[in-house]
Structure 1
C-alpha cells in the first residue's frame, strides 16, 4: 500500500488540474495539458531507465543514481541489494581462498575430477605423490597421466568404499593409499595418502610377533617334552630326573627373562612413561656393576677391572640407566671366553660423560654393528641361546639412551674384543670435576642408533 499512495495522489492532482482547465478553458486546453504531462513522465522515465542501465552495466564503477519519488525508492533498494550481494560475494571469496589455502596445506594429495575423469583442480601434494601439476594438467584425463593397470581398474570400478594401496609413480619407496570420494554433481575427489610409515610399522609388528613366537617356541618345546617324558615314565633314575628339572628350570628362566625384557621395552615406549629427573651417582653405580660382573662371571672366570676417572654424576632415571649399563656389562660377561678381561670405565671426553665396557671376547664384524640394536638381531643365534641372551638387551640400551639424549657407540675387532660405550651429553652431567687420571679411550668409534 505504501508504494501506491504517491503515484495515485500525483495522478489525482493532474486529473484535478485537467478538470479545472476543462471547465475554465475548454477541452483542448485540458487535453493539451494531459499530453504534456504524459510526455514529461515518459521522458523522465526514459532518462531514469538510461541511468539505471548504465549503473547495472558497471555497478562497481558508476555511482548509484539519485532520484526523487518512486525512482528514488527503486535506486535505493537496488543499491542496498547490491551491497548485500557484494558482502556475500566477499564472504564467499574469503571462504574459497581459505579452502584453497587449507587444501594446499593438507599433506595428502587431492585431485578434483569431473564426470569425464578430467582434472578440474589438484593441490601441491598431488605433484609430490602423483606428479600432477594444477596449471599444466587442468582439463587433462587422469587416466592418460596415471596409466598403471591397477589404478585404471580402481578408477573404472568407482567403488567409493574401497581403498587402493599402491606405490607412488614417482618414488617406489613411497606407499600410497588412494580413495575416491563423490561430491557435487558427477564430481569425484581423489585422495592420495602416504602410508609408508604405517606399512613399515605394520611390517615391524609382524616381524616382532614372529620373532617372539620363535623365541618362545624352543623353550616351550623343551619344557613340554620333558613334562611329557616325566608324565609317561613310571620310574626314572634320580640323576635323570634332576637333569630334566634343571633343563626345564633353565628354559623357564629364559622365557621369564624374555618376558621381562619385553615388558621393559613396552614401558620405555609408552607415551605415559615419563622420564624421571634424579641424580645418578655413576661412580657408585660403576662399582655396583663391577661387583655384578664378578658375580655373573661365576667364580672368577673373567678378570674384571674398574677405572673411574671422573666424579661426574648424571641427571636422569636411575632405574633406566642402571638397566642400560647393566645390559652392556652382562653382554660382556656372556660373550667373553673364560680367562678374558672385562673393563668398566667412567670418564669425561669432549665435555661428554662416557661409560664404556671393554671386553676381550670374539668381537663383531663391521657389517653386523649397525644392526646390533635391532630387536632379536643376533650375530650367532645358537651361541646367543647357549649364553641365555634374549636378543633385546641392546634394543633396551638404545631406548634408554635415546630417552636421555645419549647415544651408543661400538668399536669391535673380530678375534680381539669390543668396546660398547654409552655417551651422555653435557646437559645430563652434574657436579663434574676434573680428575688427574685419564683413561685411554678408542679414538675411532662407530655410532649406532
Structure 2
C-alpha cells in the first residue's frame, strides 16, 4: 500500500504548492483566494497529465507482445506495471512447462506399441500417434479434423462406434489389408473418445497354429489308436490263424512305432524350445555326423535308391551333437521317404568361401510347388497328407530342423521345382566351424572315405 500513501501525498503536496504559488502571484491583483484555487487546480492537473502519460505507456506495453520489460515508473503505474509483468512472466513459464509436459506425454504415447487416436465430440480426429496412423491408414497431419468414419469404413468398426457399448474390443481386418486389429474405445472429457488399437495378427496366427497343433496331434495319435483298438477287438472276437495273427501283430507294431515316433518328435521339439542354446565350445566332428546320417539313410532306403555322400573338408562344428544329428538325419530320411524307388539322393558337406558350412541333401523326387515351400517348417504341415502318412512321416521333421538351425545360428534353405526334385541346404555360420585336427586312419577307413568324398551305389 506504499504506492497509495505516496500517491495521496504527491497530490496533497502539488495542491499546496500550487496554492502557495497562486497566493504569491495573486497578491498584486488583490484576488488571493482565486489565485490560490487556480494554482492548486493547475498543479493537480499537471500531475494528472503526467499520471495519464504513465498509464498510456503501460497500456501501450500491454497492447504489444510484452517481450520487453514493463515501463519502470515510480508510484501507482510502476507498481501496476511490475505486478502485471510478473504475472505475465509467471504465466509464460507455466505455459512453457505445460507445453513441455504435453510434448513429453505425446512422445510417450508415440513410443507406445499400441495405436492411440483421440476423437473430439463430433467424431473428428484430434490427434493420433504413428502406430494408429499405420493401423488405420491415416496421415496424422492431413487427416486431422476429419471424421474417422469417413476414413475408416470397416463395417464392424463403424457399427462399434455407433453402438456406444465399449466394454469389449472389436476385432476386424486392418484397412490396409495386412493384418487384424483389436480396437477398444474409451470415453473421456465431455463427449470425446480415446481409440486404442492393437495389431493382433501374430497373436491370431499363433492361436490358430496352437489350435491346429492340438487338432493335428489329436488326429495323428487317434488314427493309430483306432487301428490298434480295431485289431485288439478283432483278435478278441474272432479266431485267427497263425498267419493272420502274425500279420495283425506286425500291423499293430507299425502303428505303435508310428505313435512312438510322433511322441519322440514332440518331445524333441519341446526340448528344443525350452532349453538354452547349445554351447559354442563343444565341438562335434562333421565326418562322424555324416557317417551316421549315411548309415541311417541306407538302412531306410534298403537298396531302393542311389545314395552318394561327398565331403570336401574335415571340419568340426560347435553345438549339441544329438540336435545336429537329428536335423541332418531328418533331411536325409525325408529325401529317402519321398524319392521314388530308383531315384538318386546326394548328401554333401562343404565349406563356403565366406567360411560358413553347408550340409546339402539333393534328391530326384517329385519336387514341391513354390507356394508350399514357405510353410514346410510349420508343424504337421504336409504338401500331401496321405502320402506323408504312407511314408511314415510325422510332419514334424522340418520343424525340428528349423529349430536346430536357429539354435546353432544357421538357416534352412529349400530349393525345389515340381518334377525336378528338391535341394535342402542347412547352412551354419563360420563362427561355429573349425578345421578338425588331422589324425591317422587305416587305409580304406570309411570315415576317411567320407572326408575325401565317397560315392556309393546302394541299388
What range describes the TM-score normalised by the shorter chain of this pair?
0.7 to 0.9
Distance 1:8 1:371 in 2: 95
Aligned match for 1:155, one of 154, 158, 161: 161
Q: CA contact under 8 A between 1:282 and 1:313: conserved in structure 2?
A: yes
1:160 aligned counterpart, secondary structure: coil
Residue deviations 1:57-82 (CA, integer Å, cap 9, x gap): 11434541001234333322222222
Change (3 A) 1:251 1:98: same
The answer to whether the Cα contact below 8 Å between 1:325 and 1:397 also exists between their aligned partners in 2 is: yes
- Give 1:189's aligned residue: 194
| Aligned counterpart, 1:39 | 45
Distance 1:228 1:404 in 2: 48
Distance 2:414 2:135 in 1: 38
| CA–CA distance in structure 1, aligned partners of residues 385 and 189 of structure 2 | 60
The number of equivalent residue pairs is 435
Question: How far 1:314 moved relative to its partner?
Answer: 2.0
Matched, 1:268 2:249: no
- 2:392 alignment partner in structure 1: 388
Residue aligned with 2:381, SS: coil
Match of 2:324 in 1: 321
Matched, 1:431 2:435: yes
Moved more, 156-165 or 4-13: 4-13
| Aligned with residue 286 of structure 1, among 287, 290, 297 | 290
Contact (CA 8 Å) 1:309, 1:439: kept in 2 or not? Answer: no
Distance 1:202 1:16 in 2: 97
Q: TM-score, normalised by structure 1?
A: 0.78
Shift in Å, 1:98? 4.1
Q: Distance in 2 between matches of 1:122 and 1:138?
A: 9
User: Partner of 1:330 in structure 2?
Assistant: 333
Deviation of the 1:354 alpha carbon: 2.4
Q: CA shift at 1:310, angstroms?
A: 0.8
Partner of 2:54: 48
The answer to whether the 8 A contact 1:324-1:400 is kept is: yes
SS state of the match for residue 314, structure 2? coil
Cα deviation code 1:66-118 (max 9, x no counterpart) = 01234333322222222111111222333344455555666655443222223
What is the match of residue 176 of structure 1? 181
| Alignment match, 1:215 | 220
What is the DSSP-based 3-state SS (H/G/I as helix, E as strand, rest coil) of the residue aligned with 1:66? coil
Aligned residues of 1:122 and 1:133 also touching (Cα < 8 A): no
Structure 1 residues 360-379: aligned runs within 5 Å: 362-367=365-370, 369=373, 371-379=375-383
Does 2:313 align with 1:307?
A: no
Alpha-carbon deviation of 1:396?
1.1
Distance change (3 Å), C-alpha of 1:224 and 1:12: farther
Aligned residues of 1:309 and 1:347 also touching (Cα < 8 A): yes
Residue number in structure 1 paired with 2:90: 84
Q: 1:166 maps to what in 2?
A: 172
Higher relative CO (Cα under 8 Å, sequence separation at least 6) belongs to 2
In 2: Cα distance, 1:325 partner to 1:431 partner: 19
Unaligned runs of 5+ in 2: 439-447
Cα–Cα, structure 1 residues 42 and 308, in superposed 2: closer, same or farther, change >3 Å? same
- Distance in 1 (CA, whole Å) between partners of 2:191 and 2:204 is 33
Question: Partners of 1:120 and 1:371 in 2: how far apart?
Answer: 43
User: Quick check: 1:226–1:248 contact (8 Å CA) kept in 2?
Assistant: yes
Name the CA distance, whole Å, in 2 between partners of 1:331 and 1:92: 66
Conservation of the 8 A alpha-carbon contact between 2:15 and 2:43 = no
Alignment partner of 1:60: what SS? coil
Give per-residue Cα distances to partners, 1:228-284, cap 9 Å, x unaligned.
567x659987777776665555434433322332233234345x6334213222112
The whole-number CA distance in structure 1 between the counterparts of 2:50 and 2:403 is: 89
User: Aligned with 1:261: secondary structure?
Assistant: helix
The equivalent position to 1:408 in structure 2, one of 405, 409, 412, is 412
Are the structure 2 counterparts of residues 168 and 418 from structure 1 closer, same or farther at C-alpha, using a change threshold of 3 Å? closer
Residue 223 of structure 1: CA displacement? 3.6
Unaligned runs of 5+ in 1: 441-449
For residue 321 of structure 1, give the secondary structure of its aligned residue in structure 2: helix
Do the aligned partners of 1:347 and 1:439 also contact (CA within 8 Å) in 2? no
